[in-house]
Amino acid sequence: MKEFQLIEHYFRDHGLNRRDVELGIGDDCAIVLPAEGKSLAISCDTLVENVHFLSEIPASALGYKSLAVNLSDLASMGAEPAWMTLALTMPEVNEEWLTQFSQGLFEAAEYYGVSLVGGDTTRGPLSITVTIHGQVPHGKALTRAGANNGDWIYVTGTLGDSALGLDILLGKQEVSSDYKGYLINRHYNPTPRVLAGQALRSLASSAIDLSDGLISDIQHILKASSVGAIIDVDAIPLSTSMLESVDKDKALSYALTGGEDYELLFTVPEAQRGAIDTALLHAGVKFVKIGQICPGDKLKLVQDGQPYQIEQNGFEHF
């Protein structure tokens, strides 16, 4: 199968057809029509085989995850998903793999209202690059800057499940069959908190998605906002599957350093705490307060009022 046949068969005219796409796949560029009063939010992520995903990952899960990690970036800025491009590099054309990959990709795209408007295909080691475009009302985007002394720190969902799921796949951790499926699914199929991000606009003072681990990712907020933070590790939300599978210290290690949870970490001024409760209830996501922004530029972890030490940091590419 040739390149343009591949694009035609697996990607063109598949998935959602948004009315704001004036010209999609098939020309040198796509043309889209951003809504009046909206700013564009653009993010790009590359997933490389055996760096970002195992070669054994089901193709449908890889297709879904390729888009989900980008959607999480939009969520952290309160943006509404709209359009994406896909650059797909493969060692060969495997039609069964492509069928499953495209099904997973378009499952996520249709659910979150995203149209595929272009991209590229080429031969080489397996890697997937998605560039996502979203829209956010002018002046309403959440950023990493904006956290102030006294703001409360929250996270959505539970942390560490994806990292434990990865260790199960790598054979590094044995868990009961009662929890194995859930934990592996949290690694393969993260839930981008798109509605939660939109609900936080005008309420949160800063936000970031948790891709490299809580310890690493919160540092970006502290640096951008020129503040410090105190985190109560016992307040970090852990799933039943996590707590039933490993001891508390191991669970906290996964939660603090594991990465790929794609939950939201955000800060909230005291005056907005009540509004946050209502907003996220309507968004259908669980969230919990884990700490507070403080003067300085350091992250402090505490447990029962005492410093909590952990040797690992989050994921870094280099």
| Cα–Cα distance measured from residue 249 to residue 260, given in angstroms and rounded to the nearest whole number | 19
pLDDT value for 26? 78
**Residue 217 in marked binding region:** no
Domain coordinates of the chain in residue numbers? 3-137, 152-305
| pTM score above 0.85 | yes
Print the SS3 string covering 209-277. ECCCCHHHHHHHHHHHHCCEEEEEHHHCCCCHHHHCCCCHHHHHHHHHHCCCCCCEEEEECHHHHHHHH
Is 226 one of the annotated binding-site residues? no
What's the fold here for domain 152-305?
Phosphoribosyl-aminoimidazole Synthetase; Chain A, domain 2 (3.90.650)
Q: Do domains 3-137 and 152-305 have the same CATH topology?
A: no
Query: Any binding-site annotation on 120?
Result: yes
In the DSSP assignment, the letter for residue 78 is T
Residues of the chain with pLDDT under 70: 1-16, 312-318
The confidence score (pLDDT) of residue 318 equals 39
The predicted structure's pLDDT at residue 15: 64
216 is in an annotated binding site: no
CA-based nearest residue to 62, from 26, 99, 105, 24: 105
CATH fold for the domain made of 3-137:
60s Ribosomal Protein L30; Chain: A; (3.30.1330)
315 labelled as ligand-binding?
yes
Determine contact, residues 166/52, Cβ cutoff 8 Å.
no
Bridge-based pairing state of the strands 127-137 and 38-48: antiparallel
Query: Is 144 labelled a binding residue?
Result: yes
28 is known to lie in a ligand binding site: yes
- Whether 297 has a binding-site annotation, put simply, is no
- 55 has binding-site annotation: no
Name the nearest CA neighbour of 221 among 314, 146, 305, 285: 146
Q: What is the pLDDT of residues 281-308, one digit of tens each?
A: 888 899 999 999 999 999 999 999 899 9
